[in-house]
């Protein structure tokens, strides 16, 4: 009998079965991409040549998306300066480069679509370069400044987290949203946006649809806040940089969105202090992810256990009827 006819009876001939195993079972994890020979690699004799070849291959895959992101950033900065100063005649441009870069990206995606060749590089910018840039904001802060801002922000952060969680939970019951979906949106709203949703989804064993819907809700409202809250905060707090920084750091969901809104405020109103306070306040919020998510997970599983036990039929009750 041939190997093809034996394949359905022999699991060791099926790569999918090998992929399900790991090194703890004595078989290394099966990764086709790791052992795939790249075009031209078979002509290289040494390990360092193959490593260099793979590095160039990786750069080639990432370059289109990274270059596109850089072009949009430069174009947004140029257009903001040109429109504000030359077209509108202001001494200082009232337009934000961040806002224009986002608009340019939306126009390109809507009119021409995004070819697959750009996806890997843009994903790299979104997941690593953007987060690295946000982390670099810490270089502008001193330990004493972080401590002072953090202590002032702590009671506000705690209050906002509690209000957000209970408000979303109440609204969930009011509009009859499923319990687990409501928990994901509550955590994402109160603490850390998309990262909190994914972490809470893992803890509560949420399915992909619930996580995707929660991420979409958080992203939509976060983007709306990114463009509007800097101006709303300036009006509400009469230009007070400390109060505006606390507001942006507690009212916007995702860390990158907080940094973007604070940066927009800094560019519009020349207030570097607001960016520092907003970034520090958001970091204080992020610390609560390690406390709130386990509580949400335990509460959800206890609620599910109570519901499940209530649905178990009682044998003697059945026979007595």
Question: What's the pLDDT tens digit per position in 245-288?
Answer: 999 999 988 887 888 888 888 878 888 888 888 888 888 888 88
Taking only the tens place, the pLDDT of each residue in 184-207 is: 888 888 887 777 887 888 777 888
- Whether residues 132 and 183 share a domain: the answer is no
- Whether residues 157 and 209 share a domain: the answer is yes
Of residues 284, 285, 302, the one with CA closest to residue 294: 302
For residue 318, being part of any structural domain is answered with no
Q: Residue range 32-41: average pLDDT? A: 57
For residue 162, being part of any structural domain is answered with yes
- Whether residues 166 and 82 share a domain: the answer is no
- Whether residues 49 and 171 share a domain: the answer is no
Half-sphere exposure of residue 248, counting CA atoms within 13 Å on the CB side?
39
For residue 247, being part of any structural domain is answered with yes
Q: Residue range 33-40: average pLDDT? A: 58
- Whether residues 210 and 125 share a domain: the answer is no
In the chain, how many domains are there? 3
Name which of 28-42, 52-66, 122-136 the model is least confident about.
28-42
Residue-number span of the structural domain to which 14 is assigned:
3-35
**Comparing 174 with 302, which gets the higher pLDDT?**
174
Q: Residue range 24-28: average pLDDT? A: 42
pLDDT of residue 144: 67
DSSP secondary structure letter of residue 41:
G
d(CA 271, CA 264): 10
For residue 316, being part of any structural domain is answered with no
For residue 320, being part of any structural domain is answered with no
């Amino acid at each position: 009998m041939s190997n093809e006819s034996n394949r359905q009876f022999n699991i060791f001939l099926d790569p999918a079965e090998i992929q399900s195993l790991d090194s703890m079972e004595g078989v290394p994890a099966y990764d086709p991409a790791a052992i795939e020979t790249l075009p031209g690699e078979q002509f290289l004799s040494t390990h360092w040549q193959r490593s260099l070849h793979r590095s160039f291959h990786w750069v080639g895959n990432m370059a289109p998306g990274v270059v596109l992101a850089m072009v949009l950033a430069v174009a947004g900065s140029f257009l903001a300066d040109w429109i504000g100063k030359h077209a509108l005649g202001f001494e200082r441009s009232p337009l934000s480069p961040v806002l224009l870069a986002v608009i340019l990206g939306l126009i390109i995606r809507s009119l021409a679509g995004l070819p697959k060749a750009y996806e890997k590089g843009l994903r790299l910018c979104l997941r690593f370069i953007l987060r690295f840039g946000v982390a670099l904001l810490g270089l502008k802060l001193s330990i004493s400044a972080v401590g002072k801002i953090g202590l002032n922000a702590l009671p506000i952060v705690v209050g906002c987290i509690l209000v957000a969680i209970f408000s979303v939970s109440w609204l969930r019951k009011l509009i009859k949203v499923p319990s687990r979906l409501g928990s994901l949106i509550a955590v994402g709203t109160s603490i850390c946006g998309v990262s909190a949703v994914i972490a809470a989804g893992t803890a509560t064993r949420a399915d992909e649809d619930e996580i995707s819907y929660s991420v979409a809700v958080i992203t939509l409202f976060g983007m709306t806040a990114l463009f509007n809250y800097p101006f709303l905060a300036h009006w509400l707090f009469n230009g007070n940089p400390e109060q505006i920084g606390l507001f942006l750091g507690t009212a916007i969901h995702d860390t990158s969105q907080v940094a973007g809104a604070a940066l927009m405020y800094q560019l519009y109103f020349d207030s570097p202090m607001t960016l520092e306070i907003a970034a520090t306040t958001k970091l204080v919020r992020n610390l609560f992810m390690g406390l709130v998510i386990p509580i949400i997970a335990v509460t959800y599983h206890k609620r599910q256990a109570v519901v499940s036990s209530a649905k178990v039929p009682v044998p003697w009750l059945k026979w007595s009827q």
